[in-house]
Amino acid sequence: MTDLPALPHGSWPSPITIDMAVSSSLSLREVRLDGEDVYWTEGRPAEGGRQVIVRWNERDGAVDVTPPPFNARTMAHEYGGGWYAVDRETVYFVNLADGRIYRQARGGVPEPLTEEGPYRHGDLVVDRVRNRLLCVREDMTAVVDAPAGRAVEGERGPEPRDLLIAIDLATGKVDVLASGYDFYSTPRPSPDGQHMAWLSWRHPNMPWDSTELWVASVDHEGHLRDERQVAGGKDESVVQPEWAPDGSIVFASDRTGWWNLYRLAADELRVGVEPTALAPMSAEFAGPQWVFGLSWFGIAPDGTIVANANLGGRDELWMIPVGASAERVAVPDELIDGLVVGDGRVAYLGAGSRHPRAVVLLDLARVERRELRRSFELEVDEAYISRPEQITFPTTEGEVAHAFYYPPTNPDVALPADELPPLVVMSHGGPTSQVTGAIDLGKQVFTSRGFGVVDVNYRGSNGYGRDYMRRLDGNWGVFDVDDCVAAAEYLASAGKVDRARMAIRGGSAGGYTTLCALVFHDVFGAGASYYGVGDLEALARDTHKFESRYLDRLVAPYPAGIDVYRQRSPIYFVDRITSPVIVFQGEDDKVVPIKQAEQLVASLHERRVPHAYIPFAGEGHGFRQAPNMRRALGAEMSFYAQVFGFQLADAVEPVQVEFL
């Protein structure tokens, strides 16, 4: 037997290529059931990120529904979601290019249902009884008509107007059902068409802070009457109301500190009635409503609830029969998303630490799991896949934080006896988001080449209860950074990684955490910012409506707390950055405008700090085009090789690091 070579960390040859990681970025979302058909959407990097609606059944297999150039995607609330509905073999979807809603009968072509206008739509659902489509409309008129130029210091720009609307499927006539709140979501008609439920909330709340669950009667003309708030309110987040067959409403609420399921009976749909808790436990049966169309549970025709419960970064599937105790359903998935329930079957998006994200169809009676589409096929031996270790580590304020650590893994290479691996600390976006241990070839690109990777669920992440998520209130740019630093120090102190070669990377809010770590701490030898926030004040003034008051809670009320914004903004302290930085930015980014990246890079250049900057034309907040994703990952690998002094085994296009 030949001894394995002991190669320097970072230079290991790996069968997990950058191209493989990019091709694994097929985005599977929004599962739907319609009779015998299962639907989902695919975001395809090879088609410029186009979202395609796909249908599957036993007879036809998986077939594309929406033809090019249609892109079934919406920018409502900027992050979109809920961009299609299906009923009786007819699909209704929003087209990104014009914002119009289209109708496409089975075997037919898309036909416009709504008129052109300055509108964005999301959260589509069919009201079958009244032959209409319900959705949220974001009226952009005020934004479109605003004078050119951004808001000035201490002011915010104009905002679009949210409306809850109904579109007559026979005539296309649009009726406004509800207005006056800053935000609406989740319109739900009752099965008999006599009632309707929805969620609403106001600035400065985000939907995971405080939402209100409303119910109204529907008159013979389809208008809402007797509107009443039945749940939610101050410091309570209600998520995903659904009508049960018996006329009750089931929803998730975090009133106890965890998003658990509750029921209001049909005769209890009035103000002041306390809902009944279903399967209470210290687990999350829902999560932050970042986008429309999210689904954590469903209700079968017999009233059985099938739900996803998250326990500290790992999902479980639970079944709650009517009048019986909840029981766990054994499935191999550690990540469960987009769950919908039909008659005897459940469909969802599932993934594990060694099996990719897939559209899963589960027969409940037999507990038979079938994968209809995978986001990618694992074309390498599982021996190259690093298995995540869940770690809990001490951090500031005498508290703890959580993360997944991925050790370097490659069966073709022996660990060098005299060298510890470099570390990449990953800081997720949101920041009210969460990372899981589901397989991600983007991480495996690093680990199979000899890096350690730690993906941090810093304080502020969801999945660990409301108190943990709320710890970031007033502390963004502090606790998230502290926890990323603490994770790196914890691994270095344990002798798992090389303290002198630790990098931090992140996108969006994670990019902000990355920049703050480089500015306010002297721990990391390099950083990679993907469309990261550099100027909090500019973000508060210029960002889109959905997040325009988000920082009031995370940082301080604006403009009263303007001093705090400046104290936490990396752009004012770039002179403290001494470690090399690589910056990636979409030129069309509306969440974090390119000006922020350009200001950062200009300052680094003026001070001759080693850096690289790669802007991408045609990209917004998050990269969706395969060539750009490939270039970014390859450039980041090239950057680390130059900074940390190792030779890549891959023939990637090198990035020029100025002043290195």
Q: For 430-442, what is each residue's pLDDT tens digit?
A: 899 999 999 999 9
> 635 Cβ partners below 8 Å, 6+ apart?
582, 584, 612, 614, 652, 653, 655
Q: Give, rounded to a whole angstrom, the gap between the first and last alpha carbons of the chain.
A: 42
Residue 302 exposed, middle or buried by CB count within 10 Å (0-12, 13-18, 19+): exposed
Instruction: Answer yes or no: is pLDDT of 574 > 60.
Output: yes
Please tell me the CATH code under which domain 181-290 is placed: 2.120.10.30
* Mean predicted lDDT score pLDDT of the chain: 94
Whose structure tokens read 């022996």? 414
For 43-52, 83-92, 368-377, which range has the lowest pLDDT when averaged over its residues? 43-52
Structure confidence at residue 316 (pLDDT) = 96
Q: What is the pTM of this model?
A: 0.93
Instruction: Give the model confidence (pLDDT) of 190-220 as tens digits.
Output: 999 999 999 999 999 999 999 999 999 999 9
pLDDT surpasses 70 at 149: no
Which residues have a Cβ under 8 Å from the Cβ of 244 and sit 6 or more positions away?
250, 263, 299, 303
How far, in Å, CA of 134 to CA of 184, rounded?
12
Least trusted range by pLDDT, from 25-34, 63-72, 404-413: 25-34
Domain ranges of the chain: 29-147, 181-290, 295-375, 382-644
In the predicted model, what is the mean pLDDT of residues 249-265? 98
CA dist list (Å): 547 to 77, 205, 429, 539: 9, 9, 13, 9
Q: Report the alpha-carbon distance of residue 293 to residue 566 in Å, rounded.
A: 36
Q: Summarize the confidence of residues 444-456 as an average pLDDT.
A: 98
User: Is the fold of 29-147 the same as that of 295-375?
Assistant: no
**% of the chain residues with pLDDT over 70:** 98
Predicted local confidence at residue 538, as pLDDT: 86
Banded pLDDT at 1 (limits 50, 70, 90): very low
Q: Give me the residue label for tokens 């939402």.
A: 211
Band (pLDDT 50/70/90 cuts) for residue 543 is confident
Is the preceding omega at residue 570 within 30 degrees of 0, hence cis? no
Domain at 29-147: CATH code? 2.120.10.30
For 295-375, CATH number out of 1.10.3470, 2.40.10, 3.20.20, 3.30.160 equals 2.40.10
Q: Report yes or no: 482 and 396 within 8 Å, Cβ to Cβ.
A: yes
Cβ(126)–Cβ(85) below 8 Å: yes
Q: What is the pLDDT of residues 502-537, one digit of tens each?
A: 999 999 999 999 999 999 999 999 999 999 999 999
Q: Quote the pLDDT of residue 157.
A: 72
CATH class of 382-644: alpha beta
Residue 544, pLDDT > 90, answer no
| pLDDT tens figures, 315-345 | 999 999 998 899 999 999 999 999 999 999 9
- pLDDT above 90 (res 476): yes
pLDDT tops 90 at residue 312: no
Alpha helices in 494-625, H assignment, sequence order: 509-520, 536-542, 550-554, 562-567, 594-606
Element housing 90 (H / E): strand 90-94
Note the pLDDT of residue 461.
96
